[in-house]
Every structure is written in structure tokens, then in C-alpha cells.
């Protein structure tokens, strides 16, 4: 299936739109024994919208990545100013974007065959980094991330045509039930959930701190949660969460004393390059949505 010239999914309108079935495949090729993922893992990703690869990275690599994440957070003035997002009610660093452009450590992580190869296999295409970021949740002070589908935002505000992208999150700390782990609604990736409200210009300045547009209707969220449940992803540092671009996910605040930091890498298929935003707003900046495509070698 080509992802070119696909009619947009309707969202960010004044009135409520109906939830629609997903048009694209979840996994873009048939499983074979030489695949970089086990058959059971591929099935779980395809049917549930995510899979956890436990402790894929060893302790030495986790220490190295964690040290780099801490270095970036502790010296934000050395980074591109717009890429550093702070908490809405404090000066704490909430997120750092475009880390693959600002850190050779994370650039190498993106280009490495382990994660890149998995993304290329799932999407059956050459890939590039659509977005990279570090999300921090310090002890006692980490704020929540509201329920959303990344694809809905990327479609409406960036012009991503189709659901042919995958997010890969590497856990740099143990993600426990207490420190605000990623929560997902399994199976929600099989439906497109539109959001109400025309997007204000430069909405990203607010949404990266606290999202108000691009948040699904509570009744729709409730129905999906009752039908499919909510899964908090609890896993040790070094584990990797692979999740579909359209999976509904969120995380609660961290009022525990235990910090939580994760790195997110978004791989998009080169055939799915961005066009004009479906929501009618100007495109968001490059650090949020890459338009200058640099393919990662296969």
C-alpha cells in the first residue's frame, strides 16, 4: 500500500467527528524467522499496538545513556533554546527535543542497527528520524502527560499523511507503578480518534508543557478503556517499548522520590514524508517534525 496522496483523517474540527477505522497496516510485512522480532512479539505489536523488549540494553549501556541524558538536562543553556521544554509551574526541564542533533551519543543510538533495523522491518521502508526527545520526570515534581495519539498530532499539526511511523522508547530508569510510567490502551491503535477544536497557531508552545488541543473526548476515551483496559508499562532500565504511532497513551505525574527518564525516537517511513498539516495551521518547527529528510542507511 502506498502512503502517498492519502485523504486526510478528519480531526481538529469545530464539531465532534466519528471515530474511524485505521486504513493502514500496523506491520507492513509478513513475519519470517529472520525478522528482528520474535513471532509472539510481532503479534503483540500488531494486535495490541505495543511490545516491551525487556532489558534489551545492558547495564553499562544504560549507565552511559543515562549519564548523557543527565548531562543535557544539567546544562540546558548549551542547547538550542527552543528544544528545551520546562514544566508549566516550575523551572524543571520536562523535555529536550532533537537530541540526535545535539548529542553524538543519541545520534549513534538512532543510527544503530538494533533500533533502526527493527523500525525498517516493521514499516518495510527506509526510515528517518521524525522526532527525538528526552522526557524527564524528577522525583516529587514530574508532571503528567495527557491521553493522546501521537499520529493525531503529527497528522493535524505536522502533515504526516499516514500511520507509517513507530515510536521506540528506551527506559533509562526503572519504570515502576509509582513513578509515572507510560500507560497505554491496548488495541486503540486500530481506530483513529478525532479531537474537537481548531488548533491555534503556534499551539506547540503550550502543548509541549500541557496539552489542551489534540486530547480525545473523555467519553470516547472511557469507552475504549472499558473495552480494552489500560496497561501501565512497568519495566526495568534498559528495556525498550515499541509502540505504534496511533496508540493512545499517557502518563501520570511522579510524586514518588524515584526519578524516571526515557528517550523517545520516532522513525518515519521515507514514503510517508510530511506534507501540509491537516489542521490548517503552519507547520511546526523542524526540531518537532523533520522536513529535511536524512535517510538512515540500511
Q: What is the DSSP string of 51-104?
A: EEETT-S-HHHHHHHHHHHHHHHH-GGGS-GGGEEE-TTSS-EEEEE-HHHH-H
- Stretches in the chain below the pLDDT threshold 70: 1-6, 15, 197-214, 294-298
User: What's the pLDDT at 202?
Assistant: 58
CATH number at residue 164: 2.60.120.620
Please give the pLDDT value at position 292: 84
10: in domain: no
What is the helix (H) or strand (E) element at residue 90, kind and residue range?
none
Number of domains observed in the structure of the chain: 1
Has residue 22 been placed in a domain? no
The pLDDT value recorded for residue 216 is 86
Locus of grid cell 504526516: 160
Provide the pLDDT for residue 2.
Answer: 47
Q: Is residue 277 part of a domain?
A: no
Tell me if 20 is assigned to some domain: no
Please say whether the beta carbons of 197 and 279 come within 8 A: no
Report if residue 29 sits inside a domain.
no
Residues 6+ apart with CB under 8 A from 92: 86, 136, 138, 141
The pLDDT, as a whole number, for residue 295 is 57
Cβ atoms within 10 Å of 34's Cβ, excluding its own: 6
Q: String of b and e for 236-273 (b: at least 16 CB within 10 Å)?
A: ebbbbbbbbbbbbbbbbebebebbbbbbbbbbbbbbbb
Listed residue (181, 191, 245) closest to 223, CA to CA: 191
C-alpha cell at 116: 533502526
In a domain, 148, yes or no: yes
Question: Can you give the pLDDT at residue 214?
Answer: 66
Q: Which domain holds residue 165?
A: 34-272
Specify the pTM.
Answer: 0.92
Neighbouring CB atoms inside 10 A of 91's CB total: 7
**Non-local CB neighbours of 85 within 8 Å, separated by 6+ positions:** 93, 94, 95, 96, 97, 208, 209
With respect to residue 107, please indicate whether it lies within any of the assigned structural domains: yes
Task: State the pairing for strand pair 248-251/93-97.
Answer: unpaired
pLDDT (0 to 100) of residue 3: 54
Does some domain include residue 8? no
Amino acid at each position: 500500500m502506498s502512503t502517498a496522496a492519502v485523504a486526510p483523517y478528519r480531526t481538529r474540527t469545530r464539531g465532534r467527528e466519528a471515530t474511524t477505522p485505521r486504513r493502514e497496516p500496523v506491520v507492513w510485512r509478513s513475519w519470517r524467522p529472520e525478522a528482528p522480532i520474535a513471532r509472539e512479539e510481532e503479534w503483540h505489536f500488531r494486535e495490541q499496538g505495543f511490545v516491551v523488549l525487556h532489558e534489551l540494553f545492558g547495564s553499562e549501556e544504560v549507565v552511559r545513556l543515562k549519564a548523557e541524558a543527565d548531562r543535557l538536562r544539567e546544562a540546558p543553556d548549551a542547547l538550542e533554546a527552543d528544544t528545551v521544554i520546562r514544566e508549566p509551574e516550575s523551572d524543571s526541564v520536562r523535555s529536550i527535543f532533537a537530541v540526535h542533533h545535539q548529542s553524538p551519543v543519541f545520534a549513534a543510538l538512532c543510527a544503530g542497527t538494533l533500533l533502526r533495523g527493527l523500525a525498517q522491518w516493521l514499516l518495510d521502508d527506509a526510515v528517518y528520524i521524525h522526532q527525538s526527545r528526552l522526557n524527564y520526570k524528577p522525583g516529587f515534581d514530574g508532571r503528567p502527560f495527557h491521553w493522546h495519539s501521537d499520529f493525531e498530532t503529527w497528522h493535524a499539526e505536522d502533515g504526516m499523511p499516514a500511520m507509517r511511523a513507530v515510536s521506540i522508547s528506551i527506559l533509562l530508569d526503572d519504570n515502576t507503578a509509582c513513578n509515572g510510567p507510560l500507560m497505554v490502551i491496548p488495541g486503540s491503535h486500530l481506530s483513529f480518534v478525532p479531537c474537537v477544536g481548531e488548533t491555534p497557531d503556534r499551539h506547540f508552545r503550550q502543548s509541549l508543557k500541557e496539552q489542551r488541543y489534540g486530547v480525545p473526548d473523555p467519553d470516547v476515551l472511557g469507552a475504549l478503556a472499558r473495552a480494552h483496559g489500560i496497561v501501565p508499562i512497568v519495566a526495568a532500565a534498559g528495556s525498550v517499548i515499541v509502540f505504534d504511532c496511533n496508540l493512545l497513551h499517557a502518563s501520570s505525574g511522579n510524586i514518588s522520590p524515584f526519578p524516571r527518564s526515557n528517550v523517545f525516537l520516532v522513525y518515519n517511513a521515507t514514503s510517508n514524508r510530511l506534507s501540509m498539516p491537516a489542521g490548517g495551521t503552519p507547520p511546526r518547527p523542524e526540531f518537532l517534525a523533520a522536513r529535511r529528510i536524512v535517510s538512515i542507511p540500511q
